[in-house]
Structure 1
């Protein structure tokens, strides 16, 4: 029961035997692509060289996957609602008023998107650029405090063993690196569409996710009929043709789809993602067609939106070591 963004133990017991939800990751199954993989830019996840770089910590921080040999890591997923709620809980526990962090009610895809536990592991949206920056900054501070706790002398910011964890929005260049833009393929892969199978037992879950008025038994029958056609579909959460029960009225589960070669999820589609460069977000969203969910897609961003979220970059260093 720990936060995936800070590694801190949760302040409340959020998950018990009474949690009445179908498991998100047992809803839709995407098969491994059968097409030949791209070889123009091979991702090598060998970070042994980090140990030879002065001051760099050769490990990722909570929620992050190492992206570069200077220790920069990017979040595996977009920051979900549950982690934003934990952020608010931590602020309240420290005596800070969390109300300025509340997502804008008018910028949510459905009214209960932030409050309903059904959407806990869906990306947080309806927040401003400033709120996202503040979250990243807070996250770096609390991780730094945690990793330095109990280490002799490390709480002294000038000590050799003091570890500094910095957390921020990615730059556009970092985001495009993570999305494999260097391959010069619109979706970072030659396989933007794969075989898919939908779990009939997820009929109730998909009814709520799609906002469908159809009764569960009929949805279940329609799912079985759909599976018999051996369908293919893009694993990118976007506006694409398909059956009514796969319609997206909100972003999707942050761990859905297929990971890219960095093992990162939903860089394309789901929600467009903020970067340090203000005024736009990258990657397209669940409301955009597949053609607008590419490694070079940009959308204007001027304030809280139901289609825009974010993920953070983290980097841990020993700034006082030479």
Structure 2
């Protein structure tokens, strides 16, 4: 039950964080930006920062506890507001975890990091507090997409749990999905928002961030098109002419991370 309380608290905090960022939609109705994002254009919002080890760890914890393809179906049927969360989560816990799904989204914790000369392994990078807010790496395209699905569901839960009536719910979008960005979307965000200076692999500081941040020399970022990534990573030579460099990949890599966009699907 302690873990369940922590999950409820984390969802509530996600909900509260969304209150910080507001945009006007095309109908001039006030809507709050989806958590973690900044408005890009029309119906597209983009993550301000990369997905971190801490973010992906939250995903793994919920999958180990109750989240699965089966519970995804239950979440699709929740009310838009005033969710009776205690009973709902009791039902999710009765369904239980899906061990096969957990194995699909777990990272290779014993994979060596190619930027070190010692015996550091993936587990020390992923599970250490020191690297909690560094970008998650060695994630496959399929795992990144599953994270996006999970994040969509968690935000829907947060909205349903923390709004009590139709009037409160009207401040938040009802039909949306998180996904990987297209090349065009990523390049537009780069053109519109400020870009950080070059740096070696370093943490992603999420506090006081209010715009799209890209740090050449950190990690390259997955795009919606499978096998394609954009941006310079720690193993690239940093040149101004190559800041929007397109790269290809076939397997999870320690120079590759990702961020999400949130696409609003309602009219």
- The interval holding the TM-score normalised by the smaller chain is 0.5 to 0.7
The 1:174/1:139 distance shift into structure 2, 3 A limit, reads same
Distance in 1 of aligned mates of 2:166 and 2:27 = 24
User: For the Cα contact (< 8 Å) 1:272–1:283, is it kept in 2?
Assistant: yes
Contact 1:170–1:276 (Cα < 8 Å) also in 2: yes
Q: 2:187 aligns with which of 165, 176, 183?
A: 176
Query: 2:39 aligned to 66, 70, 75, which one?
Result: 66
Match for residue 213 of structure 2? 265
User: Which residue does the alignment assign to 1:99?
Assistant: 103
How many aligned positions are there?
A: 206
Q: Which residue of 2 is the match for residue 21 of structure 1?
A: none
Gaps of 5+ in 1: 1-6, 12-45, 155-160, 193-234, 238-247
Deviating runs (4+, > 6 A) in structure 1? none
- Report SS of the residue matched to 1:67: strand
Structure with higher helix content: 2
Residue 8 of structure 1, CA deviation? 5.9
Distance 1:307 1:296, change over 3 A: same
SS of 2:185 mapped into structure 1: helix
Distance in 2 (alpha carbons) for counterparts of 1:132 and 1:107: 20
| Aligned match of 1:4 | none
How many angstroms does 1:52 deviate by?
1.5
Cα pair 1:284 1:292 within 8 Å, conserved: no
Q: TM-score, normalised by structure 1?
A: 0.56
Bigger Rg, which one: 1
**CA offsets, 1:165-189, max 9 Å, x none?**
3100000000000111x89xxxx87
- TM-score (structure 2 length as normaliser): 0.66
Does 2:197 align with 1:253?
no
| Aligned residue runs from structure 1 range 1-322, under 5 A | 9-10=9-10, 49-50=24-25, 52=27, 58-68=31-41, 70-94=42-66, 95-97=97-99, 98-104=102-108, 105-106=110-111, 108-109=113-114, 110-111=120-121, 112-149=124-161, 150-151=163-164, 163-180=174-191, 235-237=197-199, 248=200, 251-255=201-205, 263-266=211-214, 268-291=216-239, 294-316=242-264, 319=266
CA 1:10–1:142 in structure 2 vs 1: closer, same or farther (change >3 Å)?
closer
CA change 1:50–1:107 in 2 (3 A) is farther
Bigger mean CA deviation after superposition, 82-91 or 145-154: 145-154
Taking the aligned partners of 1:101 and 1:178, their CA distance within structure 2 comes to 28
CA separation of 1:168 and 1:292: change in aligned 2, threshold 3 A: same
Q: Pick closer, same or farther for the CA change 1:48–1:252 going to 2, 3 Å.
A: closer
Report Cα offsets for 1:52-90 as digits up to 9, x if no partner: 26xx8732111111111x232111111000111111111
